[in-house]
Chains A and B, each alone.
Chain A
Amino acid sequence: MEELLDIINSRKSIRRYKTDPVPDAMVDKILEAARWAPTGENYQPWRFIVVRDQETRNRIGDLARLGSGSRMTAWYCMGHMQERFAGIKDEAKRAEVLRFMYSGEVSEFAKQSPVVIAVIGTLREGSVDVPYDLSAAIENMLLEAHSLGLGGCWVHGPVASTRDARKFKEILGIPTGMGDYKVIAYVSIGWAAEMRKYPRPKKALDELVYWERFGNKERPHHG
């Protein structure tokens, strides 16, 4: 299992892509990984829409830019973004990062990633905990993409608000009724054009784990 852990802890969210195409065989493997995710009652509510069309990806990218930009502009105006990125000491660099965020450009990359896979879940058939099933499928997709040498990113921005989720459905021809399909995110896939810092800071396990009962940090001895 050590090899799997290496794949897990070296995966990064990639937002800049080369224009090189992603072979169908690789896309198929990513979808196959998704198909094997755990799912409540084996309902398998997930459906996937694979998008390569540039015009469609442009529309998704524009929607994502508006979604993220509308929130982050407000967060910047409230002072929240400046606090979040206070760790960047170089003023010019910090200003550019902030502009990249509040302009919404941070979420526009569907336009560049050669493949976008919308992840939706049917609410029409038997289903329990659809968002959790879809999330498990997305994680499988990202890990498989990474294992193939591809970059990927889980993007919730363009479907975060109810109105935007409806617009996203309309772009892809998904029925828009709230009882039809849950759209949870899309996954962008492509060849990475950026090198992310590795490993990124993660909380230590002793900050995250309790033993036997909530709050207990003393690990029992089991020989």
Chain B
Amino acid sequence: MDSNTYFNQLLYRMEEVFYHELSDCASWKTELVGTDFIQAQDIRGANEDEIVMACIRNIKAAGLAEDIEYSITGRGILLKLKIKGCALMHKEVLLRNSGIKPYSCPITNMILDQLIEKLGYCTTYVAELAVPEEPVAGPCQVKAAIYATPEKIGAVSDWSQQ
């Protein structure tokens, strides 16, 4: 067994029991998972595009994902991510096979963390984490709300149209 498989199995068991304890609230509690890595990188940027792209460069360089695409729409609060070739895909598959919808994405957590830490965003929220049924079939797709200021709370739009 390689170390990646081993660590994915550890994470899967941790997330399984955590979900069992907290149900859907588990995803709200795990927002710092992954942030130690990104905080150890020299992420710099003057705006959200520069920060997100810097995070993606560092994540890819470390081999944590093969590729990440992003867009920001929905009145500036919808951050969409497509994450391909994630090193943690195995734990998502194990989790789903146990009957639990994957709920914690460390790569998303990293990017949201740097928007908060480097640009002072007031808060963020992961609204959807869609893991493909077959990992080889496509990337994970994430929808996260990013709020630069408190006034952005309530800036609603129809994300299905974005």
Contact = CB atoms under 8 A, between A and B. Distances in A.
B74 interface: yes
Contacts of B30: 162
A160 B28 contact: yes
A102 B160 contact: no
Nearest to B113: A163
A76 interface: yes
Interface stretch (A40-48, A63-71, A146-154): A63-71
B114 interface: no
B124 A77 contact: no
A160 B78 CA distance: 21
A77 B78 contact: yes
A12 interface: no
Interface stretch (B9-17, B63-71, B88-96, B151-159): B151-159
Contacts of A162: 28-32
A102 B32 contact: no
B154 A104 contact: yes
Contacts of B143: 74, 78
Contacts of B25: 160
Nearest to B160: A79
A62 B157 CA distance: 23
B147 interface: yes
Interface residues of B, number: 28
Contacts of B155: 73
A66 B123 contact: yes
B156 A102 contact: yes
Interface in B115-147: 116, 122-125, 127-128, 143, 145, 147
B31 A66 contact: no
Interface in B21-48: 25, 28-32
Interface centre among A73, A104, A163, A164 (most CB of B within 10 A): A73
A30 B45 CA distance: 51
Interface in A158-181: 160-164
A185 B158 CA distance: 32
B72 to A, nearest CB: 13
Given A73-B153, A77-B158, A163 B123 contact: yes
Contact of A65 (B116, B153, B156): B153
Contacts of A71: 28, 125
Contacts of A66: 122-123, 147, 150, 153
Given A66-B122, A99-B154, A102-B156, A73 B145 contact: yes
B74 A77 contact: yes
Interface of B: 25, 28-32, 74, 77-78, 116, 122-125, 127-128, 143, 145, 147, 150, 153-160
14 contacts: A69-B153, A69-B154, A71-B125, A73-B145, A76-B156, A77-B158, A79-B159, A99-B154, A103-B153, A104-B153, A160-B25, A162-B28, A163-B123, A164-B123
Given A62-B150, A161-B29, A162-B31, 4 more contacts: A73-B153, A79-B158, A160-B25, A161-B123
